[in-house]
Amino acid sequence: MKKYLLMLLLAAAGLPGSPARADVLVLVHGYLSGAQSWDASGVTAVLQRHGWRHGGIYVSGPSGPRLIRVPVARAGHTYYSVDLPSEAPVVVQAAQLRDMLDAIYRSHAGEPVYVVGHSAGGVVARAALVNNGGGNTRALITIASPHLGTHRAEQALDATDIPFPFSILPDIFAGEIYDTARRSRSLYVDLVRPRPGTLLYWLNGQPHPDILYFSIVRGQVSVAMGDLVVPGYSQDMNNIPVLRGRSTRISIPSDHGLDVLDGGVIVNLLSELG
């Protein structure tokens, strides 16, 4: 643990760490977000300072995934970001991500792929890998992901479970926020705490690929308690029965959102794995 904290401090100070030797990195955003969240948080700036180049953004199209290429000034290790319909159910997002990963596997045949998912994106990434058998993926890194669900999803379902015509009132007073929550109900259903009949109950009992797993666990006041969105135990993949003892836990006292420090953790972690 001290070793990871030291690497984090070096990255935050802008000091050069060991050169990253991983080949391909795939960044999967969370709920109500998109590919730009990795840029806005400063994560991709850290990647670029350490020799990574942006290969482009994968988006879904009627004939399959499409790569929007980004001009680059130099060669280097490649990272891709993806743009998924973040309000859609996990299975819908996972199916699109699976196709994107297949395209990346083909264009980087034989090269190791590292997948990083933030928040709900970590669950989406895990579901895609479970359904796809792992492919060229060597490791999954999740950041503040609700692997064992979150009570916030249950609260959102309760808040939007209002029959017509009474649903008109919150729609009038809450406006776009309430509309977004209603559109996201199928995603909330997928992120409730696991019990028989739920997606997480099924997913958490499936055989997982034989790859490396890393759980970045958040918590501002107490990492053990987690952040305001996802409890700490839910962020740790070791608490998934089929992954018990297989995930390395990295604790970061921070809020739920992406942070520039995540870039330092990712770079230094991949340097070690390389």
List of residues 6+ apart from 228 with CB closer than 8 A: 220, 255, 256
Backbone phi and psi for residue 131, each to the nearest 5 degrees, phi listed first: -75, -20
Distance CA 176, CA 270 (A): 40
Number of domains comprising the chain? 2
Mean pLDDT of the chain: 87
Q: What is the pLDDT of residues 5-37, one digit of tens each?
A: 444 444 443 444 444 344 899 999 999 999 999
Do 110 and 239 fall into the same domain?
A: yes
Domain that holds residue 169: 151-190
Of the residues 190, 218, 253, the one at which a domain ends: 190
Q: Is residue 270 part of a domain?
A: no
- What's the rounded mean pLDDT across residues 39-46? 97
pLDDT the model gives residue 74? 58
Do 80 and 134 fall into the same domain?
A: yes
Nearest to 147 by CA among 42, 234, 243: 234
Do 45 and 174 fall into the same domain?
A: no
Q: Is the model more confident about 161 or about 247?
A: 247
Q: What percent of the chain has pLDDT over 70?
A: 83
Do 87 and 66 fall into the same domain?
A: yes
pLDDT the model gives residue 78? 95
Q: Is residue 203 part of a domain?
A: yes
Backbone phi and psi for residue 44, each to the nearest 5 degrees, phi listed first: -70, -30
Q: Is residue 269 part of a domain?
A: no
Do 110 and 234 fall into the same domain?
A: yes
pLDDT the model gives residue 223? 55
Q: What is the pLDDT of residues 99-153, one digit of tens each?
A: 999 999 999 988 999 999 999 999 999 999 999 888 999 999 999 999 999 999 9
Q: Is residue 131 part of a domain?
A: yes
Do 177 and 80 fall into the same domain?
A: no
Is this prediction's pTM over 0.85?
yes
Tokens 């973040």 label which residue? 86
Do 237 and 166 fall into the same domain?
A: no
Strand-strand pairing, 64-68 and 52-61:
antiparallel
- What's the rounded mean pLDDT across residues 235-260? 95
Q: What is the pLDDT of residues 52-93, one digit of tens each?
A: 999 999 999 888 999 998 776 556 699 999 999 999 999 999
pLDDT the model gives residue 73? 54
